[in-house]
Amino acid sequence: MFAEEKLSVIFLALYFTTYFFANKHTIPVLKLVAHWCRWFSFAFFFSYLLVIFEFSSRPDWVHFIIGMGLWFILETLFFRVSVQLLNSSEVPLFPKYQRDSIDNLWPINNRALKIKDYLLNESFENIGVIKAELMKGFSIRQSMFLGKTKKVRVNVVFIPNAKNEIKCYFSLFSINNTGAYLITDNLNIPFGGFYPDHWSVNRYPLCQSLTKLLKKHIQKMKANGLNWEVLDTDLLNKVNQCQMELETINQKMGFFSYTEEEAKAQITSEGSNRICLEMWLLSYLGKTFH
């Protein structure tokens, strides 16, 4: 009994410590450790309560497994409620982009300054800023850059969080002479949907380095063995075309449904299951479907 109480306190302390440092220093691996520590601390504390209140006389390891299972159910329910809240909101699943200004785009912190310096030193050309408004006062903004060869586009994606902090992510794009897309990003937002067959999407949520992400992208380009097209600088229509392709394939695959009565896309039960699964993968393994 003492061991269970002590272990629950230890893992809870580890959770708060790792979570604090993960947020302060933007280290995604620590967030994974924090999630596991939170899960273990709950299971140990649950086991401790069963023993201290004499609800069960089964072995401690059985109590621990039951606690693990209970947390799995509770968190899955939380994920499902989150999806239902998204369904009941006015947030579009595949928002359309429009041109935006560069005003107040970059957050004021060391990481943002390093990203800007890296893009400048590597001779990336800024070709514009676009945004998609999800709801009033909440927009996803992207600053787009083309490399020297103009065959790789780097999108620096700015997404505000619940604390009104602006988080930076990267999405790299190339297209070969057969019309196939190569996309490499580090977004840690669950998608759960489907991509068109001619899209090759590689996601690395744990990679925070633009240098490493660009290296992975170029390696994929070389391994493909095809010729890569020079990208157009007027790309707003291209971005919205990609959004339309995503919307079409996901409606076809049953990820969401749309009726005139609802006048809004609704994520289906199958789509909800896929999103919940990807939420688990991201939270505890740092992986996605792609």
- Does residue 266 belong to any structural domain of this protein? yes
pLDDT digits (tens, 9 = 90+) for 215-245: 999 999 998 777 899 988 777 888 899 999 9
Residue 263 has pLDDT above 70, yes or no: no
Is 67 domain-assigned? yes
DSSP one-letter string for the chain: -HHHHHHHHHHHHHHHHHHHHHHHHT-HHHHHHHHHHHHHHHHHHHHHHHHHTTS--S-HHHHHHHHHHHHHHHHHHHHHHHHHHHHHSS--SSPPPEEE--TT-S-SSHHHHHHHHHHHHTTPEEEEEEEEEEETTEEEEEEEEE-TTS--EEEEEEEE-TTSPEEEEEEEEEEBTTS-EEEEE---S---S---TTEEEEE-TT---HHHHHHHHHHHHHHH-S-BPPPPS--HHHHHHHHHHHHHHHHHTTSEEEETTTTEEEE-HHHHHHHHHHHHHHHHTS----
Query: Do 7 and 63 have their domain in common?
Result: yes
Q: What is the pTM of this model?
A: 0.88
The number of domains in the chain is 2
In a domain, 267, yes or no: yes
Q: Are residues 32 and 118 in the same domain?
A: no
Domain limits at 140? 98-284
The reply to whether 93 falls in a domain is no
Q: Which residue has the higher pLDDT, 162 or 66?
A: 66
Domain co-membership, 198 together with 275: yes
Question: Does residue 289 belong to any structural domain of this protein?
Answer: no
Q: Looking at 38, 53, 88, which one is the last position of a domain? A: 88
